[in-house]
Amino acid sequence: MLHFRKNLYRILETSSGKRRGISLAFNLTLITIITLNAIAIVLHTVPEYNRRFARLFYNFELFSVCFFTVEYLLRIWVCVEQEKYRHWFWGRVRYVFSASAIIDFLAIFPFYFSLFATDLAIVRILRLFRIFRLFRISRYSHAFRLIQNVVVDKKEELILSMTFVIFMLIIVSSVMYYVEHAAQPDKFTSIPATMWWGVSAMTTVGYGDIHPITPLGKLLGGIAAIMGIGLFALPTGILVSSFNEHIRTPHRPMTRRCPHCGKEIVS
């Protein structure tokens, strides 16, 4: 049983060695089911398709939930093969509350909740969580892992730049409120309401539902738009720079320690 669990863990978590073919087939199956789920969620909202293929959508949802539930339980069972989840009980508890396990849980939770819920409004809202199945693809995609590594490496710079953007949004919206409130009390009703204008102005989207009409307000709006171009370009530059670093840096072999003998495993 222990040997079977080790093999199952390698199939679920790796795609190298003797089990590369099995692991690749398993990963491709998962990606295919996740992709079909995304398509089904989109087509389910089309009234014509929902009427014609309602039974097909339900059967496919039932199959997907059963498949993802079995896979979720297997991952909880074999997670103790990882060093950080070594303990037979607390290791599994820790894994259940990890980011990847939470995404797996949110992908299947709405279906089981809908079996017992009586409030249809809550059920409709929770069904949106099915879209979390798309995030599961990141586990099997090198591109998604690269994006994750880039964001993790530059998280301090990104947090700092986004904090600066938020500060400027608050300042610009506050000034615009006091400039335009007297001229348009029904539009610029408060500083939080003015922040909607601030977001559309700083991102240069300009929906037009709320805009300044006073000369000073128009001047401030132009300054906000110009500032927004530079401010939102800052995190973009940080990400581009980090992407270049990761792409140009030679790939180093990933090392792991065997949870049983403690030796390093190169994969």
CATH of the domain at 104: 1.20.120.350
Q: Is residue 209 part of a domain?
A: yes
Residues 6+ apart with CB under 8 A from 22: 11
Give the model's pLDDT for residue 118: 64
Say whether both 161 and 200 belong to one domain.
Answer: yes
Closest CA to 155 of 166, 145, 167, 163: 163
Q: How many CA atoms lie within 13 A of 144 on its CB side?
A: 8
Q: Is residue 68 part of a domain?
A: yes
Say whether both 106 and 18 belong to one domain.
Answer: yes
pLDDT tens for each residue of 63-104: 988 998 998 999 898 888 888 888 888 989 999 998 888 888
Write out the DSSP string of 59-88.
HHHHHHHHHHHHHHHHHHHHGGGSGGG-ST
Residue 89 sits in which domain range? 2-140
The least confident of 11-25, 44-58, 193-207 is: 11-25
Say whether both 178 and 132 belong to one domain.
Answer: no
Residue 260, classed as helix, strand or coil, is coil
Say whether both 68 and 117 belong to one domain.
Answer: yes
Continuous H helices in 184-214:
191-202
Q: Is residue 255 part of a domain?
A: no
Q: Is residue 236 part of a domain?
A: yes
Q: Is residue 256 part of a domain?
A: no
The answer to whether the beta carbons of residues 85 and 95 sit under 8 Å apart is yes
Say whether both 59 and 114 belong to one domain.
Answer: yes
Q: Is residue 206 part of a domain?
A: yes
Distance CA 22, CA 19 (A): 5
What amino acid is encoded at 165 in this protein?
V
Closest CA to 139 of 84, 80, 39, 72: 72
Closest CA to 62 of 70, 51, 52: 70
Say whether both 124 and 36 belong to one domain.
Answer: yes
Say whether both 37 and 94 belong to one domain.
Answer: yes
Say whether both 131 and 211 belong to one domain.
Answer: no
Say whether both 135 and 67 belong to one domain.
Answer: yes
Residues 6+ apart with CB under 8 A from 177: 188, 190, 191, 194
In the chain, the number of structural domains is: 2
Distance CA 102, CA 244 (A): 31
The least confident of 175-179, 198-202, 209-213, 254-258 is: 254-258
Q: Is residue 263 part of a domain?
A: no
pLDDT tens for each residue of 217-258: 999 999 999 988 888 888 888 888 888 887 777 555 445 555
Give the model's pLDDT for residue 146: 79
Write out the DSSP string of 130-181.
GGGGGGGGGGG-HHHHHHHHHHHHTHHHHHHHHHHHHHHHHHHHHHHHHHHT
Residue 18 clears pLDDT 70, i.e. is over it: no
The answer to whether the beta carbons of residues 16 and 267 sit under 8 Å apart is yes
Q: What is the pTM of this model?
A: 0.59
Identify the helix (H) or strand (E) that includes residue 17.
none
